[in-house]
Structure 1
Amino acid sequence: MIAMENDSLLEDSLLTRNAAIFLEAASSRSFSSTAQRLHVSQSSISQSIKSFEKKLGFRLFERDARPLRLTHEGRLLLAGLEKGTQELGALLHQLKNKGQTKPFLKLGMLESVGSFIGADVAKGLSQDINELEIKTGPSDRLFFALLNREIELGVLSSPVLSDDSLAWDFLFEEPWVLIFPRGFEIPSPLTWQVLSKLELSFVQYGKNTANNRIISTFFDRLSLRFSTRYKVEDTNMILKFVKAGLGWGLVQPYAVSSLVGLGEVTIVKAPSPISRRKVFLVSRNSFDKELLGTVKNLLIHLMQEKIKAELCPIIPWISSEYLFAE
């Protein structure tokens, strides 16, 4: 009969590092081969097996045989551990298929996108993940949060730099729209040259933002300069400045939908030519591809549905301005 020191034997020994070493040694039938595979010394393997045998109360190997030969008790223990490992693997697979082991997800989203569909994303992923943490902010800040593993996925615009550890999946391309304070007399026809001569200040994104890079590159290409008294970091601040009558802005349509609906600002289609902003779902190359696909499809679906339901009634021309990944 196999002797056991106490009722906590399985917890104290069978599920410890010594048990893993025993399984490896039983497979290779050589302490030296086991040491090489586990990158430890042979004496360490020998001591671990002796310690395991002492806890169990019986010998596992016939030390005099070459290659190593399991004792009768050793063969019984090996069979039990292998069966337990197989059953555990089957159980985990079964639980995963039943949705009982759901992952945690840390998702970063552009501030404007998060405000528009963040709650819908949480609702849409409720069956796929156990817990969701959403971090919003400018694209560059989220990019570095990805690099520092503070988030696992990011909804970002143009990258500040490239990194081989990250994969960029295109989501959609979107327009910029002009917003003016309520009651402001908008020139007609409206061109970039006319805008550059306005006394009303252009409320610009701060220098260290992806939106600033996109807009500044476009304006530089057209050799445009604007009266700019205010620079702010995020879209919400631009909306507040425009609403207060301090200037006009260039933003994404969904960022201002609530203000337009309330009549607090006026939205106008940007003159041609105009650059567009590309938005990506960014992940580490090692991220689970199935969950990545689920999140990507959900984001595209939600954007399409909410643009149709919330933007088109107040900005009829906006739906044709978006381009989505297929």
Structure 2
Amino acid sequence: MNKFTDETDKETVNRLSQAAPLLAAIVDELNFTKAAERLNVQQSAISHRVRALEEKLGLTLFERSTKNLRLTAAGKILCEAARQSMSVWQPALDKLEKNQSADQIRLSLPSSLAMKWAIPILPNASSEGLSISLEVKDDLTDFHHDDTDAAIRFGVGPYPGLHAIHLTHCKIQAVVSPRFLNGVVDQSEQALLEQKMSLLSDRRGAKDNTGYHWQNYFEKTGSLIEPFTCKHQFDRADLMIQAAVSGMGIGLGRTLLIENDLKAGFLKTLGPSVNIESSYWLVCSASFAQSKRFKLLQHWLKKEIQATVNQSHAIQ
């Protein structure tokens, strides 16, 4: 019959879990006295706990002599498990401490949002008691493997397994640079939008199911141009918008990406703006959502977004 029956398994596992730091220290030092100093306990306490564990298991874990301490086969198995256990717990404890501290927040967000909106407002964070490090990443953040604290995502949502806060709804809007209009005879909105070869587009928006593409815009405004081909295509929204600023054609802007350029006079709106299903979301792990830093971050982001949206209304 197996010595470790169902009745004793739970108690044995609990004892081994409690003894993990002790066994890890002993195997590193191979000396009870040094292990005791490392753990800041009496040497007699080490000896007593090891003896009690051996009696519970019915196994000898260490071969003792006046000069040496050696591990038995059973001791090697358990001490290696103890080492592995400690290697897992220490990083977890470090991460937990980081989540609860007031250190810098690692915020992940798409490159377009970083360039056109987040970087200009970043200096404002310090007034809210925040220190933020931006991590530019167009792919989704894996919170289980990355050191990222939170991320801003653009999409329909929700995001299963993550804590998600809705930041703002989103509109899309045709925009054009005043320099593009130089020499254009018919500058009416309808005439400009019918210039199919003047349209600039973002490849990602056309295939990521966010609704950020010209086809969706024309369908919602009731002015569908069929068929049409964009003059230039880009891999990022900020590149497409910058091309519009440079006078290369008519860009498709969206909330938070065009307000600064509109305010500066680099762009002007063309035609109506339309709502899309996608929004901006603040997402993070459940543990970080309980931290004071998350609450500060959430408050600051919503305040900055509201200021940007109000600025857009004032321009229009």
Shorter chain as normaliser: what TM range?
0.5 to 0.7
Residue 44 of structure 2: SS of its match in structure 1? coil
CA positional deviation for 1:203: 0.7
1:174 to 165, 170, 173: 170
In structure 1, the gaps of 5 or more residues are 1-31, 69-95, 318-326
- The amino acid of 2:172's aligned partner reads W
Alignment of 1:102 with 2:102, yes or no, is: yes
Partner of residue 294, structure 2: 292
Taking the aligned partners of 2:231 and 2:153, their CA distance within structure 1 comes to 27
Partner of residue 231, structure 2: 229
Structure 1 pair 254/43, CA: closer, same or farther in 2 (3 Å)?
Answer: closer
2:216 to 209, 218, 237: 218
| Mapping of residues 75-90 of structure 1, within 5 Å | none
Structure 1 pair 268/234, CA: closer, same or farther in 2 (3 Å)?
Answer: same
**Residue correspondences, number:** 244
Partner of residue 251, structure 1: 253
Partner deviation per Cα, 1:43-65 (whole Å, 9 max, x = no partner): 9978959944575775234979x
CA positional deviation for 1:166: 2.0
| Mapping of residues 85-164 of structure 1, within 5 Å | 101-114=101-114, 115-118=116-119, 120-121=121-122, 123-124=124-125, 128=129, 131-138=131-138, 141=139, 143-144=140-141, 146=143, 148-158=145-155, 164=160
Partner deviation per Cα, 1:278-318 (whole Å, 9 max, x = no partner): 1100112332423322211110111222443x5455x1x3x
Taking the aligned partners of 2:144 and 2:208, their CA distance within structure 1 comes to 20
Partner deviation per Cα, 1:128-176 (whole Å, 9 max, x = no partner): 55x53102354xx2x24556425221111116x9763323210101322
Structure 1 pair 38/113, CA: closer, same or farther in 2 (3 Å)?
Answer: farther
Structure 1 pair 150/195, CA: closer, same or farther in 2 (3 Å)?
Answer: farther
Partner of residue 37, structure 1: 14
Taking the aligned partners of 1:109 and 1:145, their CA distance within structure 2 comes to 13
CA positional deviation for 1:224: 4.8
TM-score (norm 2): 0.58
Kept in 2: contact 1:201–1:248 (CA 8 A): yes
| Mapping of residues 261-272 of structure 1, within 5 Å | 261-270=263-272
In structure 2, the gaps of 5 or more residues are 1-8, 57-96
Structure 1 pair 145/125, CA: closer, same or farther in 2 (3 Å)?
Answer: farther
Taking the aligned partners of 1:118 and 1:228, their CA distance within structure 2 comes to 29
- The amino acid of 1:303's aligned partner reads I
Partner of residue 93, structure 2: none
Taking the aligned partners of 2:277 and 2:160, their CA distance within structure 1 comes to 25
The structure that is helix-richer by fraction is 2
Structure 1 pair 209/298, CA: closer, same or farther in 2 (3 Å)?
Answer: farther
Partner of residue 92, structure 1: none
Percent identity over the alignment is 10
TM-score (norm 1): 0.57
Taking the aligned partners of 1:120 and 1:254, their CA distance within structure 2 comes to 11
Residue 59 of structure 1: SS of its match in structure 2? helix
Partner deviation per Cα, 1:242-282 (whole Å, 9 max, x = no partner): 233321011125433444344333223526x5535411001
Taking the aligned partners of 2:21 and 2:101, their CA distance within structure 1 comes to 36
Kept in 2: contact 1:243–1:265 (CA 8 A): yes
After superposition, the CA RMSD in angstroms is 4.5
Kept in 2: contact 1:204–1:228 (CA 8 A): yes
- The amino acid of 2:153's aligned partner reads L
